[in-house]
Structure 1
Amino acid sequence: MPDLYGKTAVLYDRACKFPKPDRAAPCRAAIVRRKQGNAPSPRNAIGSPKLPTQQSGAMFFPKINVKADPVRRWHRPDRHFFANGACQVLAFAFLERYSDLGFHARWIKPATGYTGNHIFVSDGRHAFDYHGLTTEAQLLSFAFRRARRFFPGWDATLVDLPTAVLISEQRSRQIEGLWLREPGQFLHDAMPRAQAFLDKFGNLRNRLLTASASCTSHDTE
């Protein structure tokens, strides 16, 4: 079996291991500020720690109001941009380029009361999102472990989406719980950016066809 996923699989495996949040950090920071003579009020100093913006090199939580600010949203790094807020555009770019490989879009739809929507593409075995090519099992394992790490009890269902929904706000709103931003509704057209980001992963067609051929040969032995 060829090394189809390379470092991507390792990234997913590592991403599933989360360090425990340092809940004492805000208190230590408050002590330092008091020594410097600019201590905030006790209530602010001991306030609940914020969620980290990045964990294990693969956890992205946008800062407050980033989505509401078109400029700040656009100027995030590509992986942050396509991990949170523009995953549907990247999914469409993939499906448009590799339309003959049997992939379709899947929506991770959080249970009522939870956040954490995400869209990726899958052929039932392989999957692709901002991390790159992996297996659907690895992608879902990472997504669920990540969410449950920060939101105990988090759960979600998988919903298959028509390709056209990914770039149409109107069509997306016809699906309960879904409301997608079109490529042209960002600060700039997000589709060229998605295509350029997709280029960074090389020719995925050859890797997928090689893997399929290898699996077929093993099945016939």
Structure 2
Amino acid sequence: MRVVAAKAAGAFRRTAVERSDQRVAWERTDQAFFASGACHILAWVCRDSYPDRPIEIAGVRLAGDWQVFHAYAVWDGWAFDHSGWNPEPELLTANTAFEGRPLGRVKIVDSLAEFCETYHSRMPNQYLEDPLPRARDYVSRYTPPWA
């Protein structure tokens, strides 16, 4: 399995220009794109890529806040996000250390559309280009823990 240390999503937080210009946001590296701005797309593509596995979607938010700032896929204690597959506690530790304050984990049971509506995130058709093929390619770069 290809292992990359979990890195905080906040380390790739979009700049004001990246937030306002979809082309600039789209042209970021894959890791930056899927860490901040399209993490939810990557999480759902990961889940859909392995229909025989009970992969769940989880989110991270600052303690006491309702807004999820990072979404990821979870299977049997492993988390998949822009850093690839890592033990979920490592992903949470990396994000907590970066943010410098406690975080809360949220189990996401909504569909992608419901998640996007609730958390003000973009649906795939709202990006400059279709992010789904890019996400499928990214998922395929990492060997899942059960392989």
CA-atom RMSD in angstroms: 2.5
- Cα offsets for 1:123-157 (capped at 9, x unmatched): 24111101001100111111111111xxxxx3322
Instruction: Find the counterpart in structure 2 of residue 155 from structure 1.
Output: 102
Number of aligned residue pairs: 146
Q: Say whether residues 1:145 and 2:97 are aligned partners.
A: yes
Alignment of 1:122-201 (within 5 A): 122-148=74-100, 154-162=101-109, 164=111, 166=112, 168=113, 171-172=114-115, 175=118, 178-201=119-142
Conserved 8 A contact 2:56-2:73: yes
Give the superposition deviation at 1:174. 5.9
Higher RCO (C-alpha under 8 Å, 6+ residues apart): 2
Distance 1:144 1:124, change over 3 A: farther
Question: Which consecutive segments of 4 or more residues in structure 1 shift more than 6 A?
Answer: 113-116
Q: Which runs of 5+ in 2 are unaligned?
A: none
In 1, the alpha carbon distance for the partners of 2:66 and 2:97 equals 14
Q: Which amino acid aligns with 2:43?
A: A
In 2, the alpha carbon distance for the partners of 1:197 and 1:173 equals 21
Conserved 8 A contact 1:116-1:147: no
Give the superposition deviation at 1:159. 1.3
Q: TM-score if structure 2 supplies the norm length?
A: 0.86
Structure showing greater radius of gyration is 1
Q: Which runs of 5+ in 1 are unaligned?
A: 17-57, 149-153, 210-221
Q: TM-score if structure 1 supplies the norm length?
A: 0.59
More strand by percentage: 2
Give the superposition deviation at 1:71. 0.8
